[in-house]
Amino acid sequence: MSIKIGFICTGNSARSQIAEGFGKYYAKKLDKDVEIYSAGSKPSGYVHPLAVEVMKEKGIDISKNKSKSLEDIPLNELDYVITLCGDAAENCPVIPNANTIHWGLPDPAKAEGSKEEKLKTFRQIRDEIEKRVREFIEGI
């Protein structure tokens, strides 16, 4: 029986989408029997274009992903819920019956400045998420 992992944040436009992309990539690469989901407590309705761009740099295409709500995933079947909310103003949902892990990461979608400055922020968050997701999947 596969292990089900949900990456949850507020908007499901950047951090949780990046985590879902890496989760699926590493599950396949490491031949792990896991199902990966992502969702937001208040879905933005889109996947951030810079999240798509920085994931393409890693050879992972999330351009066809959709911003999903908690109701769009099998919430009550999840074995692990990993919340990625970072800012105190954000509300990370609590999911009963799952092992909850919190990775407090800043929201790259809130980055300001030029496109290059925003991309730098997205890359930093992407690289941190990749490291954490890889280690988590390896440990399953």
Query: Which residues are the active-site residues?
Result: 9, 85, 92
Q: Which residues pair with 101 in a beta bridge?
A: 82
Alpha carbon 60 to its chain's center:
13
